[in-house]
Amino acid sequence: MENTSYFLGIFPLLTTMVFLPLVGAILLYLIPGFSGQDEHTRSRVTWFTLGVSGLTFIVSIACLNRFDPSVVTAQLVERTPWIERFGVQYYLGVDGISILLVLLTTFLMPIIVLASHSVKTNLRGYLFHMLVLECAMLGTLLAFDAFLFYVFWEFMLFPMYFIIGIWGGKRRIYATLKFVLYTVVGSLLMLVGLFYVVWAYAAQNGGEITFSLYELSRSVDLSLSEQIWLFAGFALAFGIKVPLFPFHTWLPDAHVEAPTGGSVVLAGVLLKMGLYGYIRYAYPLFPQGAAYFAPVLATLAVIGIVYGALVAWAQEDIKKLVAYSSVSHLGYCVLGFVAFNALSTTGSLYQMLNHGISTGALFLLVGVLYDRRHTREISEYGGLASKVPVFAFLFLVFTLSSIALPLTNGFIGEFLILAGSFQEFPVLTAFAVTGVVLGAVYMLTLYMKTMFGELNEEKNGSLTDVTPREIVTFAPLFVLVFVMGIYPQPFLRLMEPTVHQYIEDVSRKMVKVGSPIEEPADGTSYAQKSGGNAARAQLAFESFNVERVKPVANSPLNFEENL
């Protein structure tokens, strides 16, 4: 036993998890039996990829098994120098903020592989890029070295570029180039900002250079104006990826043109990377810059929520509708994080998972329809419920999850976000709430138009219901919608200590003595104000927990009673 645990102690779980998909991807091209185009080879290729992604999922479960929620820093750390002279390390770790996103990634990938049978041409290439993408995404989530993060961050572009470009719709080339160029512009500016931080650190620490996130954020000392500029650079890079309101235009294009699996992975994981970048890098490195820009970000997020919802309402293409709903949903996540108390940030992280599940499932459902009818026009469908009842049922469940009906996962996330944000941005949150209503409007309208009423198109008469294979695809998502909606504690418990510590650390640095920003008019210092908020948030957070004996009466956070 001793030996086993020792072996487990040194076994590089995270490296295995990151590079297993890459090895699988390369094997796809090295194993000779995988080169044909016939049905037999296709299924062999699919099974192989399913095996690789399933194994990756198992490794991620093993990570979860060894993950200790009470530790608030990176765990399962693996670090070796990479570019020694510049202090760049190969530095992987996982903490309470990333663990669930990692699991989401590894969990979604087998589902995407299962759903890939609709890819008609060059299935092997498609799965190759999917596996490469998984490697890049996991690397991005696990990197604790800023330059390594940057490398993985850019690495995510390459497979996605191919997935949209080869297997996408009619305007795929436009969409994919737009996707890459938008992202690259932002991220290269981020790179320059990163160099600036590193050299500022080196100047303050006797010439010692490091790209390690912890060391940089702990001891680099930047003036307010530097922080504002640098945060702006980082915020642009991450804001494009989220996407925040004025930078969101690449998203509908990319989503609409991407093949089903591409859309799922885009909505499920890639969009989260933007917000993850804020959480992991922009905020800890430039807390004062973050405080300075928080109102701006919150405003943009709320504009995104309302605007995304309104535009989604007006869409005639189902996929575009879901894409714009992503803009709206991600707005919630950003708002929740920017409000920056434990409650809303937890909600934001939780909502990221929810969005991955519900929107991912919706894209899969759209894919199912598209495979059968080769159109995504809403007007082409109507009265499907009578023809494909199981499909209609699944569609209903994920629609409800997307509009955050209580008992579904979406409800928990949105509730936490709105409750938490209200303490910081009452007015903005009031606007954001309208997004909830609008969300119900456009999603239910979509459901009504497509599923209810008369079977209006003759072609829809021959529609077949979901196949067993598709049911297998949807089952895990279906289960998670309810598990996460009814019993969120196990998930929240994983992130809770880290989030608390994180909020405390960063908000302490948001204002230093003597800095000129944000002196509230009522005479209290900002530190007091944010301290007060932190305390209130703490209270609210605890009231949310089951362990708490009696919830505070008349509190909006009185969660169990509301349930």
Instruction: Report the distance separating Cα 321 and Cα 76, nearest Å.
Output: 40
Among residues 27, 62, 64, 151, which is the contact residue for another protein, using CB under 8 A?
151
Exposure string of 418-449, with b = 16+ CB inside 10 Å and e = fewer, is: bbbbbbbbeebbeebbebbebbbebbeebbeb
CA atoms within 13 A on the CB side of 449: 17
Tokens 């989401």 — which residue?
104
**Hey, which residues between 74 and 113 contact another protein (CB under 8 A)?**
83-86
Instruction: Report the distance separating Cα 178 and Cα 183, nearest Å.
Output: 8
Of 152-160, 309-317, 376-384, 535-543, the segment contacting another protein by CB under 8 A is 152-160
**Taking the complex as a whole, how short is the minimal distance between the CB of residue 505 and another protein, in angstroms?**
27
**Taking the complex as a whole, how short is the minimal distance between the CB of residue 34 and another protein, in angstroms?**
13
Nearest residue (CB) to another protein, 181 versus 314: 181
Among residues 75, 176, 328, 530, which is the contact residue for another protein, using CB under 8 A?
176
**Taking the complex as a whole, how short is the minimal distance between the CB of residue 527 and another protein, in angstroms?**
31
Contact between 177 and another protein by CB under 8 A: the answer reads: yes
Of 145-153, 299-307, 319-327, 482-490, the segment contacting another protein by CB under 8 A is 145-153
Binding residues for another protein, total number by CB under 8 A? 33
Q: Nearest-CA neighbor of 399 among 457, 466, 477?
A: 477
Contact between 165 and another protein by CB under 8 A: the answer reads: yes
CA distances (Å), origin 349, targets 31, 335, 383, 410: 40, 11, 37, 12
Q: Tell me the three state secondary structure of residue 91.
A: strand
Of 169-177, 310-318, 328-336, 453-461, the segment contacting another protein by CB under 8 A is 169-177
The region that residue 285 occupies, defined by phi over 0 for left and psi between -120 and 50 for alpha, beta otherwise, is alpha
Contact between 189 and another protein by CB under 8 A: the answer reads: yes
Contact between 192 and another protein by CB under 8 A: the answer reads: yes
Among residues 185, 407, 444, 471, which is the contact residue for another protein, using CB under 8 A?
185
Contact between 530 and 510 under an 8 Å Cβ cutoff? The reply is yes
**Taking the complex as a whole, how short is the minimal distance between the CB of residue 147 and another protein, in angstroms?**
7
Stretch 196-235: interaction string toward another protein, x if CB under 8 A:
x-xx--x---------------------------------
**Taking the complex as a whole, how short is the minimal distance between the CB of residue 165 and another protein, in angstroms?**
4
**Taking the complex as a whole, how short is the minimal distance between the CB of residue 155 and another protein, in angstroms?**
4
Three-state helix/strand/coil letters over 134-199? HHHHHHHHHECEHHHHHHHHHHCHHHHHHHHHHHCCCCHHHHHHHHHHHHHHHHHHHHHHHHHHHH
Contact between 237 and another protein by CB under 8 A: the answer reads: no
Instruction: Report the distance separating Cα 554 and Cα 95, nearest Å.
Output: 35
Nearest residue (CB) to another protein, 199 versus 487: 199
DSSP secondary structure letters along 466-498: --HHHHHHHHHHHHHHHHHHH--HHHHHHHHHH
The region that residue 243 occupies, defined by phi over 0 for left and psi between -120 and 50 for alpha, beta otherwise, is beta
Interface residues with another protein (CB under 8 A) are: 83-86, 136, 147, 151-152, 154-155, 157-158, 161-162, 165-166, 172-173, 176-177, 180-181, 184-185, 188-189, 191-192, 195-196, 198-199, 202
